[in-house]
Amino acid sequence: MGDFWVFGYGSLIWRPGFTHVATRRAHLYGFRRSLCVYSWVHRGTEAHPGLVLGLDRGGSCVGLAFRVPGDLREEVVAYLRERELVTNVYSERWLKVLFEDSTVEEALCYVVDRHHRQYAGRLAAEQAAAVVRGAVGQSGPNEEYVFNTIRHLAALGIRDHWLEDVSARLSIAED
């Protein structure tokens, strides 16, 4: 099998965790980046859930696509399934992404399951900040996850106004 692409829109941008041979900025249409998943493992617990990003339907999302050598397909997909499908709140989908040079490729994406009990839906920035604030999971504090994502998106010149609003509300609370 040939090389394949993996689309990152959140923590995969700043911590992919798998071998790849190229990274390209990519645009995914029909889905948006959203803090719409209650985290019971990585950034919270069932008793005090945090929020993590999911690809939710509607809008579009700019992120990074990582090209993975075909001979690493099984290894990388197994890693991503262990990381992303811990509670099966995401479904694995092959979706078309558009690169800056107008080429289109299919990429492996993890899309939120709106029927899963961890789906938080579309929250106001103040509601999202309230959930994120103080939540901690196996991968660390939820605030750190939001701040890392914002910092890396900014470094790539990617704006996410709603997520920036959540981050600002968290920063104000820290002061």
Number of domains in the chain: 1
Name the nearest CA neighbour of 108 among 125, 89, 84, 140. Answer: 84
Query: Tens digits of per-residue pLDDT, 95-132?
Result: 999 999 999 999 999 999 999 999 999 999 999 999 99
pLDDT of residue 1: 74
The active-site residue out of 75, 82, 84, 144 is 84
54 SS3 class: strand
Give the pLDDT of residue 174: 57
The CB-side HSE value for 128 (13 A sphere, CA atoms) comes to 24
Is 84 annotated in the active site? yes
CB atoms under 10 Å from CB of 165, counted, come to 15
- CATH number, domain of 122, equals 3.10.490.10
- The answer to pTM > 0.85 is yes
Owning domain of residue 160: 4-174
